[in-house]
Structure 1
Amino acid sequence: MSHPYPPPRDKKGSRIGFTTGANAAAAAKAAALALLGQEPEEVDIWLPAGWRQPFRVFRLERKADGVLVGMIKDAGDDPDVTHGAEIQAYVRFASEDRLEGGEGVGVVTKPGLGVPVGEAAINPVPRRMIWEAVREVTDRPLAITIAIPGGEELAKKTLNPRLGVLGGLSVLGTTGVVKPYSTSAFRMSVVQAVGVARANGLLEIAATTGGKSERFAMRLLPHLPEMAFIEMGDFVGDVLKAARKVGIAVVRIVGMIGKISKMADGKTMTHAAGGEVNRSLLLSLLKEAGASPRALKEAEGAATARRFLELALEEGLEPFFVGLVRLAQERLQAYIGERPFVSVALTDFEEGRCLAAWPDREVYRG
């Protein structure tokens, strides 16, 4: 018996969504039912999150040797690049069980992703969900192909090419549910990137707060291969924990003043929703660096961290930048413990100049 639909919104009033893996499992189950002569308009599957969830069939097409079913992914109020995409399963009877990737599903080309090199990028939990879903319908051997039309183009907007997933998207999900504003898919890809780097022999990585800071970091750290550069966004804490878990020895954090200021304030999740920049902290560092009364007065009314940077640049206050990265480094090192070794570098906004780094400025060019 199907569990009722769970509340469509969480406690904060935001809609939950469902992962690519959950949609693939539901599509596979609907196709298996159609193989047995039914015409399902809706199917329900068990989610690892802890309930049975109905999914409405978007497309059902009977082919010569099987059935194609498509579901439209709804990621709720935390939409990613696959929100609104059609997740398809083509299911047919076979001599033995087989699960493959079709159009728009990438192929794993590097170790460290939990899926053997050369196989479709369908992660372990979605694989299990797919087989559990079809086994509710039939015990007969099945050949299942998961496809995401347009997935190859969508994948260019993800970390997949850097992770070594080529030709399309990954079929992801550990709970089946996308929690609003958790950015869970991005967090997972960041953690995976750390694992891939280590699985390919790297002991040193550079974690950046965005695409622009990543480009700057590549110029500042030319001794590192491309795989070592990980765009972590706001998830500095997750990167450090993942690095510790897999045995990365050195994590170099490269970013601009807004995110670095939050790290200096002890935050390990630097999203804007996590709180404003601590202007009192920046003002204190500016005073310690010897800022003029004029600069301090203007800083008291500054609305952004960037304005503090501009004032420090105007007065040539390198100690302000050094004090900031030192505090950020000490906070992050205290958070993660002795290993990995953490280094923090601050860049400007336009040229990617390294304004300061701690404790090993000499490693960074420029």
Structure 2
Amino acid sequence: MPPKDPELQKLQQELDDLVKKLKDEQKKVADTTLEAVCGSIPDAPKVRLVTKKLLKGHINKVNSIHFSGDSRHCVTGSLDGKLIIWDTWTGNKVQIIPLRSSWVMSVAFAPSGNFVACGGMDNMCTVYDLNNRDSTGVAKIVRELMGYEGFLSSCRFIDDKTLVTGSGDMKLCMWDLESGKKTQDFDAHAGDVISISLAPDNQTYVTGSVDKSCKLWDVREEKCRQTFFGHESDVNSVCFHPSGFSFATGSEDKTARLWDIRADQQIAQYAPPNANSGFTCCGISLSGRFLMCGSDDTSVHIWDTLKTQHNGTLAGHENRITSLSVAGNGMAVATCSWDQNVRIWV
């Protein structure tokens, strides 16, 4: 290996010193822990969710799932080259949408239920109008958003006219769906952007990346509001707390964490009884009391967020769990897996 540039080494050292200084300053104001403050609160009851519906229809790994704003319908994207819109109450397929590329990595349902978006290794985001169909009866493509230099890893609708996307080229893009043009396009992380979660008020969003950090953004600005360090490996998933003041993360480092935006730092850490594998996805219950993380070990781990106690697991999938979505009304959790199945837990 060629020797490192002395100037580069000096800059790297300077950066490391600054990060250490910031962490030291954070420790000074961290006068207590969430666990200590909530010590007198009674233990949360055991979560007893069961598989209410087992949704079968995909014939390859299912990579992503997302609930509609009506808390009834959800969309799944699979490597079989299909998007399926499900009615989670009946277990029926509402629509099947064949994709031009089967390498789908992310799906998103518009809160209104009018549109779905997907993308992956095809380096673009495709938006479908579920209310309009072409001559073959398939939902019409209304937008193909191109211009990425890497795979599309995550997408979320802010409303029917606005979409935010993260990709393997380390960028975030904001799109105006009426014109099909970017309104923002900026470097966000020092590695692939993996996950995006919108705040309850839709004014801010948080991102997770393989650079081990999470960042808070405002939909109206291109600059980062806050950066959160602490994970020791890829941050695979981020999820806003229903209060809007904190968010949870699931990481390849076999931990999940809770971060407080006002405190500007981590306030809790969660680990399973046997830390065998990393976390791929996470979600928080409507009350904010329970954190759920899907894992490589085929189960969903649940914790009491306040007391940081492991509350149990959801078992049923037979392979790696890839994505998890909590219904907007808090009444159900949807998971999908490499076992080709989708489960609705109630």
Normalising by structure 1, what TM-score?
Answer: 0.21
Structure (1 or 2) with the larger CA radius of gyration? 1
- Higher relative strand content: 2
- Higher relative helix content: 1
Normalising by structure 2, what TM-score?
Answer: 0.22
